[in-house]
Amino acid sequence: MIFNEKYTLSNGIEIPKLGLGTWMISDENVVDAVAQAIKMGYRHIDTAQAYANEVGVGKGVKASGIPRKEIFVTTKLAAEVKSYEEAVASIEGSLQKLDMEYIDLMIIHSPKPWANFLESEPYFEGNREAWRALEEAYKAGKLRAIGLSNFEIQDLENILSSCAVKPMVNQILTHISNTPKELIDFCKEQNILVEAYSPFGHGELFKNKQVQAMAEKYKVSVSQLAIRYCLQLGLLPLPKTANPKHMEANAAVDFVISESDMSQLQNLQTIENYGEYSHFPVFGRV
């Protein structure tokens, strides 16, 4: 099990190498999912204002019986928040909903509002303003680390050009057959940890014959292969599930993919269609 393994962020804060994603898990159902995951050994829970389940995540952390200081909780500033004032209010809102004195990591969910995600306007000024609010909350001890999500190189450069505190994380869509090497390399050069959301390609990897064959070779599931792939690239995978059996399997990744097989997986044909999920902006851009 990988529960005890951690990365160290640029500010010295340790972050567990595997997180539990909670997207599309309702506020009601997420309480039990989070509590069970923590009791099983998970110490990293990822939520967002947009998921509308921060209240449930906070309750789940409490219900687990594990001390708060042992759990790493991430939430995200809504993509539509592009002013300092709105960001300050939103940070306070998350603290209240989670019912926590501090949040371990808070990130800007997207450089653009979701409704405008595929448009050309970069919202540079709005992102700098939202970042200023995160910096302020970080310096005040309300946030232990701050970061970004879905930020491309130009978006990152915008923040890096003016920030007082550098981003510690960039959470991006990354999985076998869709691994943005240039963006990942840029983040690593800037000492920004890359977190990989949707490591299973929102289910599309389960349909891929080459990925299935590789998983069979290592006598593991496609899910386990996908998570191990991310870890060997130095990324932090965030698989989403409310199923305890899947939670347990996702953490059982103590095998090693060979260099040649990693190269093969990195060069698989890119998934061009995420099926019913293609309407989500992040999948529609691929």
Taking only the tens place, the pLDDT of each residue in 152-182 is 999 999 999 999 999 999 999 999 999 999 9
Alpha helices in the chain (DSSP H): 27-40, 54-63, 84-98, 124-139, 153-160, 181-189, 209-217, 222-232, 244-251, 259-266, 281-284
Annotation marks residue 51 as catalytic: yes
User: What is the pLDDT at residue 271?
Assistant: 81
Q: Of residues 7, 42, 51, 229, which has the active-site annotation?
A: 51
CA distance 258 to 48: 35
The pLDDT of residue 10: 98
Of 92, 101, 50, 97, nearest in space to 71 by CA: 101
pLDDT for 286 beyond 60: no
Structural tokens at position 11: 């500010």
Cα–Cα distance, 105 to 252 (Å, whole number): 25
Q: How far is residue 245 from each of residues 33, 40, 98, 174, measured CA to CA in Å?
A: 11, 10, 26, 23
CA distances from 260 to 215, 219, 266, 267 (A): 14, 17, 10, 11
Going along the chain from its start, the domains and CATH numbers come out as 6-284 (3.20.20.100)
pTM over 0.85: yes
Contact 102, 135 (CB under 8 A): no
Q: What are phi and psi of 239, to 5 degrees?
A: -65, 140
Mean pLDDT of 228-235: 98
- Name the residue among 35, 84, 78 with its Cα closest to residue 58: 35
What's the whole-number mean pLDDT along residues 88-97? Answer: 98
In the predicted structure, residue 72 carries a pLDDT above the cut 70: yes
**What mean pLDDT is reported for the chain?**
95
CA distances from 216 to 12, 50, 101, 219, 264 (A): 38, 37, 45, 5, 15
Read off the pLDDT of residues 23-52 as tens digits, 9 standing for 90 and up.
999 999 999 999 999 999 999 999 999 999
Higher pLDDT, 150 or 269: 150
